A = this chain, B = another copy of it.
Amino acid sequence: MAGGTPAHPGSGPAATLPAVAPRPTLRDVASAAGVHPATASRALNEATRDLVRPATVAKVRAVAKSLGYQVNPIARSLKTSRSETVGVLVPDLTNPLFPPIVRGVEDELGGSGYTVLTANTDNDPARTSANFAAMQARQVDGFIVLTALLEDPLMQDAAERGVPMVLVNRLTERLDVSAVAGDDASGIARTVDHLVELGHRDIAHVAGPLTVSTGVVRERAFRESMRRHGLRDDRVVVTDVYSEAAGRTAMLGLLDRDRPTAVVGGNDLLAIGCYDALEETGLSCPDDVSVTGFNDMPLMSRLRPPLTSVRVPQYELGVEAARLLLDRLSGRTVTPRVVLLPVTLVVRGSTAPPPRVGA
C-alpha cells in the first residue's frame, strides 16, 4: 500500500523540488496572445467579453485554453471583494440530519460555480460567532445558517448589516431574512392525529430546546393539537439539547410520574433516547408505549422497532435554501421569503394502539 517504498528511489525526500511549473497568469496569456492584460481580462470575463472584438476574444480564449490558464480566485477576490464562496454554519455534521441538507446546498451552489465553506458550531454561540467572523474575513458572499437561535443577536446584527443569508430548519423571531424549513406544525399535528386515531389519550411530548425555533414550534403545535382533540396538553418535558441522552433522561422522568401510552419525540434522536429509557425499565415499544420521531433521518426505518417519524425533505431544504441565497446574491430578489416545505408522516412499527387498560 501507500508509502511502502518511494516511487522514485533516487530522489531524496523532496530535496530538489521538480521545479513546479508556475500557473500561467493573466499577463502570460495576454503576452502570448499579443494583447494587453486588461484586454485579456475582459475577453475572459463573461460579463465584459462583449467589450472586446469577437476575433480578439477567440484568440485570447484559445491561448488561455492552450496554456491551461485559470483565474486566480484569490487575486480576483482581493480586487472585487467577492469570493464566489458561501459559508455554511451547521451545529454538527455528525448528526445525521444535517449531511443531506448540506449536500443539497453544495450541489445547488456548486452548479453556479460557488464553493462552500462549512463549519461546525456545536451549538456554541462563541464558536458560531468566531466561525462567522472568520468566514466574513474570507470574503464569503453569503451564509446558509442551520444554527440560528430563536433569539439570536449575532444573526440579528448580521441581517441588519445587510449580510446576505438564508436560515434553514431553525428560524429566528422577528428577523427579516429568507428562510426555509419543514412545516413542523403540520407534521406534529399529523403525528398527534395518528396517535389519537390509534386510540391514545395519554400522550406526552419530549420537546427539544426552547432556544431554537424547532423546539418551540413543535411544542406549541403539540399543545394545540392536543387541545383540538380535547386532551390534556400539559404533559411536556423540555430538553436542553437534541440528543439521545437528553431523550433518555426526559423519558425516564415521564415514566416515573404517570406513564403515558404514547410519546411524541421532538426529533429522532430524542425518540431514540426514549427507546433506551423504555428498554431500561423493561417496557416495550410499541406494546406498552408508542414513540414517534421527527425528521426521519437515514436508517430510521431500520431501527428496532422501525421509527414512526415525520419525513422532512432534507436535501430539498438545502437546495431551496441555496436557491434563495443565489437569488439574493444575483440581486434578482431583494425581499426575504420564508418557504415551508411540506412534510409527511411515515408510520412504522413504533406506534400501535395503547395497551388495554384492564389487561
A residues sitting closer than 8 Å to B (CB atoms) are 1-8, 13-14, 17-18, 20, 23, 70-75, 77-78, 83, 92-94, 96, 99-100, 102-103, 106, 115-120, 133-134, 137-139, 156, 159-162, 167, 171-179, 181, 213, 217, 272, 275, 298-299, 302-306, 334-338
Interchain CB contact under 8 A, B7 and A174? yes
In Å, the complex CA distance between A5 and B173 comes to 10
Interchain CB contact under 8 A, A171 and B78? no
In Å, the complex CA distance between A357 and B217 comes to 57
Contact of A2 among B74, B133, B134, B338 (CB under 8 A): B338
In Å, the complex CA distance between A99 and B95 comes to 8
Listed A/B pairs (12) with beta-carbon separation below 8 Å: A1-B179, A2-B173, A2-B177, A3-B176, A7-B176, A23-B137, A72-B78, A75-B78, A94-B100, A115-B138, A117-B117, A118-B118
In Å, the complex CA distance between A284 and B104 comes to 37
Chain B residue contacts of A134, Cβ below 8 A: 115
Interchain CB contact under 8 A, B14 and A162? yes
Interchain CB contact under 8 A, A305 and B304? yes
Contact of A174 among B4, B133, B177, B334 (CB under 8 A): B4
Given contacts A94-B100, A106-B120, A179-B2, contact A13 B335 (CB under 8 A): yes
Given A7-B176, A13-B334, A20-B161, 7 more pairs with CB closer than 8 A: A1-B181, A18-B160, A70-B137, A73-B137, A73-B138, A99-B99, A299-B299
In Å, the complex CA distance between A71 and B304 comes to 52
Contact of A175 among B7, B92, B177 (CB under 8 A): B7
Chain B residue contacts of A103, Cβ below 8 A: 92-94, 120
Q: Is the interface of A mostly helix, strand, loop or mixed?
A: loop
- For A87, the closest partner residue in chain B by CB is B115
Given contacts A70-B133, A106-B120, A303-B303, contact A2 B99 (CB under 8 A): no
In Å, the complex CA distance between A47 and B170 comes to 42
Interchain CB contact under 8 A, B334 and A2? no
Give min CB distance, A151 to chain B, whole Å. Answer: 12
Give min CB distance, A33 to chain B, whole Å. Answer: 21
Interchain CB contact under 8 A, A178 and B115? no
Chain B residue contacts of A133, Cβ below 8 A: 70
Chain B residue contacts of A275, Cβ below 8 A: 302
Interchain CB contact under 8 A, B1 and A173? yes
In Å, the complex CA distance between A77 and B337 comes to 36
Chain B residue contacts of A116, Cβ below 8 A: 117-118
Interchain CB contact under 8 A, B334 and A175? no
Chain B residue contacts of A73, Cβ below 8 A: 137-138
Interchain CB contact under 8 A, A162 and B17? yes
Interchain CB contact under 8 A, B94 and A99? yes
